[in-house]
Amino acid sequence: MFEAILLTVITASTPLVIASLGELVTERAGVLNLGVEGMMIMGAVCAFAAAQLTGSPHLGILAGILGGAIFSLLFGFLTLTLVANQVATGLALTILGLGLSGQIGEAFVGQPGVKLPPIVIPLLSDIPFVGRVLFSQDLTFYLSIALVIGINWFLFRSRTGLKIRAIGDSHASAHALGINVIRTRYLAVMFGGACAGLAGAQLSLVYTPQWVENMSAGRGWIALALVVFASWRPWRVLAGGYLFGAVGVGQLHAQAFGVGLPSQLLSALPYAATIVVLIIISHNRRTTLINTPASLGKPFVPDR
């Protein structure tokens, strides 16, 4: 019983972790992208459509990544090239993504999905309890762990990661040192979009292998809150993602066990938890200010 619940928590937490990691890199570069929800749902519909048309869930994963990355380019063009307001643009792209995905996915409603199979690691997967939990998971789970390790090394151990953090802390100073701020931010935005698309692909190929309109169900907003919750640190994103995933799964099991609370209230628990966490974080303003990229959300126009 506990093993089944833990497996469900892992499946529910994986898209939150992946989307949050992508947004973390984007924000470390000083760009606030509120369009994560729209990019996730575009990744979900592109992944499901590609998997249905080709019969390959792995091609579906690639399509989801590309769908999110291409959609993020629109955000990049509007905010980095045309210097549009990042908050307004992100909100607009979320609305656009929800509407466009519904239009694209209309032909796939009700069709059985192509589920991404688990990767069973010989011998290790036979270990009682641990084997099934850690060594018999789908590709997106292993990618989420690899992303945590890779991004942590990249941001804090590599030269390029140092440049990204420098841009996020002071884009004017980074520009004065000869760093191409706009190009770096474009790449960071595309990486964030690709991660959001991968998270969306996990939703339509693993978590619920079918296409349902608005199936991201606010997870993009939770991912945004997770970045703040984690103080822009990859390992904390992993912990926070599983915490929020456990809350979401917990409310489902509470409904199944017939807990004497309205189902609507139980369904709202993950989002209520998000609000509570943000309130708690806001009380420690010193820690928040120290970790927040100083140029986050601020437009940059290079000298001509």
pLDDT tens-digit readout, 103-153: 999 989 888 888 999 998 888 888 887 888 888 899 999 999 999 999 999
- What is the per-residue pLDDT across 287-300, written as a single tens digit (0 to 9) for each? 666 778 999 999 99
Say if CB 40 and CB 199 are below 8 A apart.
Answer: yes
**CATH number belonging to the domain at 2-291, selected among 1.10.3470, 2.40.50, 1.10.1060, 1.10.287:** 1.10.3470
Say if CB 7 and CB 132 are below 8 A apart.
Answer: yes
Residue with tokens 């641990």: 130
Secondary-structure breakdown of the chain: helix, strand, coil percentages, each rounded to the nearest 5 = 75, 0, 25
Please give the residue that has the higher pLDDT: either 39 or 5. 39
Residue 170: count other Cβ atoms within 10 Å of its Cβ: 16
Sign, CA torsion 9/67/271/237: positive
pTM: 0.92
